[in-house]
Structure 1
């Protein structure tokens, strides 16, 4: 049953990730069509096509690997520069280097170094592929849109991921709720065991717990402690921990009637969580009772606040991603325990989702955890896609802003409008970025398979 639950968790995450990618691309697709851009393809995933159907000018499809997606817009870049000698005769070497593609500028590819010929071929291939989408007109093309429309289209995808993350966190926090210790007593210890002991049963030498000695029972509901009304178990615990050795009147409701019992907390070493969340060992008052846990729906704004707080944290660490991946690689090679805060690949996220689904906890708890994992993935997608490098959405935003800045500068000095920014010149940079992403992804996948994060122990 545990194996089946693990598989179900992985499948649910894969499906959720595919939906997230699909919504990301819809965030690009809808404004693109709204602004009149011709969209040839809308695809979820990469690799072989599993299913596709054409509706109007757009082919919609699903591919085998749900690790990304894309839409194909007409004229992502301006037409190839006519002043460059792209249409002259091509040597056999250049034709071979471009794998049978249309001609490129022969000078740099024939006389330059191998790297120059390689990147020159990539630039020319990108231009030729882009030219095929132009249909001889700027109408319906992305590059011809006003700057603000291009930015709206490119930010539409990440924005959808942020909205989805907020919705998922809202469902987890307000729809399901957070596990909260209530004022209802779940169990009463018979004796007081030393802190950190592996002993599980009481002996004659162990002192009777104050809660048991006072007559507290499971099912009692705490009403007041030391004359102070309490609405949460945490409030009652705070009074008890601050009052070792002092008799405390405790009002409980039992079988519909209220009773007052006398409890004298013992001074004992116990783990205490501070305001900053850190857990330390301290000498505090102890009575030996635990609370019943219930799911308490949080205010509607709690989920979105948690999502936005996590978004800020991810923004703070995204620039450290190469360093964190390097540290993960070092841990992998040296066999050291992996940092629980290290980045995850899709494989690691799937494994974590499987572990959550296989835990022996209430179903609602597992569902809430899966929702927050998927919400966190969408936050990561949102932030990562805003990195201002091609081929990420943030890179296209930077190109649009630079294009707008050039036009404003020309207008300010009453110069002729400049040519649109030719982003195909940045194909070599794009290649390096894609290669870096692939390498980092490969390292994280290996780490998630060999040295995985086990947040659940």
Structure 2
């Protein structure tokens, strides 16, 4: 049964990834069509085509490998000049091939409907549409989790009252342990703590902090019991607890645990959480080469990986499977799965903003540079320069793609051999 649940979790993540990619490409497609650019294809995935249908001038389809997608716009770059092959060698051949492919996309297309002829701001809108669609999807998913399902929180409601209090860190009471102060005072499960010694408490953490600092002191605890406020006199027992660093401390306890409930957050909590997630992912992306090197080193040393480090789609799928197979209420598993998909979309948003071709951020940089050149020429009274021939950057694109493939390969290998586990 656990294996079936694990497989279901992986499938859900793969479908979620495909939906995320489809939305990303829609973010490019809609403004491109709005601005009149001819779009020949809209494809989700790579490799062999599983399904496609042509509507108007655009072919819409799904391919076998759901690890990316694309739309093919006419005239991503200006037509190549009739100057023959410049130079030779591997990279020169790549540039020439890119120019040929680009020229083919221009055949029979009205010049007013090509991408490179658009104003700079329209090109930027088209290229940023994909990443921002992922950001919007992530915010929607976070709203479902935070404001729809809620955040699992220990509330001021008493979940259970112990019969006794262990005087050490032992989990079970012994015959020598005293009666729990809460039980002695008549506190019951279901009581909602309103205030302690006149201080109102908003959550269980606040109540616990007051109790821990009041060992041996009589406290007036007001609880709400079935709509009626009841005042109880409770004296916390002093017990020894060992902290994670081995330090022993004396704290007060009364022998209660708080009830766990899903507390719904306001709608604006989702954009705030998304912004915090963007910053965290951006820090990882900036340090990606170092993080991947550390991950590769862990394959050799066998050390535990950083749980906050980068993952491949294999690692994300394994975590999704673990979540689906976990021994937890279904609502908890749904919340974690949606949060995982939201984080995946945040990663797609940030990664695609990296200012290097072939990523969307690279195309934005090309458009901005084109606009700066035109403005500068106008400012100094020179003729307007022609559009930038970005096919010259194909060698840079090739290097970036190789780097992405290598880093992805390392992460996949690490996720197979030394995976990060939630449990």
TM interval, shorter chain, is over 0.9
Worse-superposed segment, 256-265 or 63-72:
256-265
- Structure 2 CA distance for partners of 1:240 and 1:279, relative to 1, 3 Å: farther
Corresponding residue number in structure 2 for 1:168:
141
The match for 2:375 is 408
1:256 shift after superposition: 5.0
- Give the stretch that moved more between structures: 18-27 or 403-412: 403-412
Pairing 1:233-382 to 2, within 5 Å after superposition: 233-255=204-226, 257-270=228-241, 282-382=249-349
The more displaced of 117-126 and 216-225 is: 216-225
- Which of the residues 91, 107, 111 maps onto 1:119? 91
Distance 2:37 2:145 in 1: 37
Q: Which residue of 1 aligns with 2:412?
A: 445
1:398-453: per-residue Cα shift (whole Å, max 9, x none)?
Answer: 11111111111211222222121111111111000000000000111111111111
Match of 2:131 in 1: 158
- Contact 2:169/2:242 (<8 A) preserved: no
Given the superposition, is the C-alpha separation of residues 270 and 362 from structure 1 closer, same or farther in structure 2, using an over 3 Å criterion? Answer: farther
Between stretches 261-270 and 345-354, larger displacement belongs to 261-270
Runs ≥4 residues deviating over 6 A = 278-281
Match of 1:148 among 100, 104, 121: 121
Structure-2 residue corresponding to 1:93: none
User: 1:385 is matched with which residue: 343, 347, 352?
Assistant: 352
Structure 1 residues 70 and 281, CA gap change in structure 2 (3 angstroms): farther
2:214 partner SS: coil
Q: Shift in Å at residue 225 of structure 1? A: 1.9
Q: How many residue pairs align between the two structures?
A: 422
Tell me the CA shift for residue 195 of structure 1. 5.2
Question: What are the within-5 Å matches in structure 2 for residues 23-42 of structure 1?
Answer: 23-42=23-42
TM-score, structure 2 normalization: 0.95
2:176 counterpart (205, 209, 216): 205
CA distance in 2, matches of 1:34, 1:132: 23
SS at match of 1:132: helix
Cα RMSD of the aligned pairs, angstroms, is 2.0
User: Match for residue 135 of structure 1?
Assistant: 107
Residues 154-184 of structure 1 show CA distances to partners (whole Å, capped at 9, x for unaligned) of 0000010111111111111111111122222
* In structure 1, C-alpha distance between the alignment counterparts of 2:411 and 2:179, rounded to whole Å: 51
SS in 1 for 2:114: coil
Residues 196-236 of structure 1 deviation map (CA, whole Å, 9 limit, x = unaligned): 54xx4322123332223323222223233223333432232
Instruction: Specify whether residues 262 and 332 from structure 1 end up closer, same or farther in structure 2 by C-alpha distance, changes over 3 A only.
Output: same
8 A contact 2:24–2:133 mirrored in 1: yes
Per-residue CA distance 1:58-85 (angstroms, 9 max, x = gap): 1000111111100000010110122x2x
- Residue 5 of structure 1 corresponds to 5
3-state SS, counterpart of residue 80 of structure 1: coil
The separation in 2 between residues aligned to 1:281 and 1:399, in whole angstroms, is 60
Q: Report the Cα distance in structure 1 between the residues aligned to 2:60 and 2:279, rounded to whole angstroms.
A: 34
Q: In the TM superposition, what is the alpha-carbon distance from 1:257 to its structure 2 partner? A: 4.3
Q: Cα deviation per residue 1:269-288 (whole Å; 9 max; x = unaligned)?
A: 44789xxxx99974322112
Structure 1 CA distance, aligned partners of 2:167 and 2:95? 71
Alpha-carbon distance in 1 for matches of 2:353, 2:401: 15
CA distance 1:40–1:269, shift in 2 (3 Å): farther
Deviates most, 241-250 or 185-194: 185-194
Report how far residue 7 of structure 1 moved: 1.6
Q: Go from structure 1 to structure 2 and tell me whether the alpha carbon gap of 1:339 and 1:316 turns closer, same or farther (over 3 Å shift).
A: closer
Give the 3-state SS of the residue equivalent to 1:21 in structure 2: helix
Deviates more, 1:200-209 or 1:422-431: 200-209
| Structure 1 position 390, deviation (Å) | 0.3
- TM-score normalised to structure 1 length: 0.88
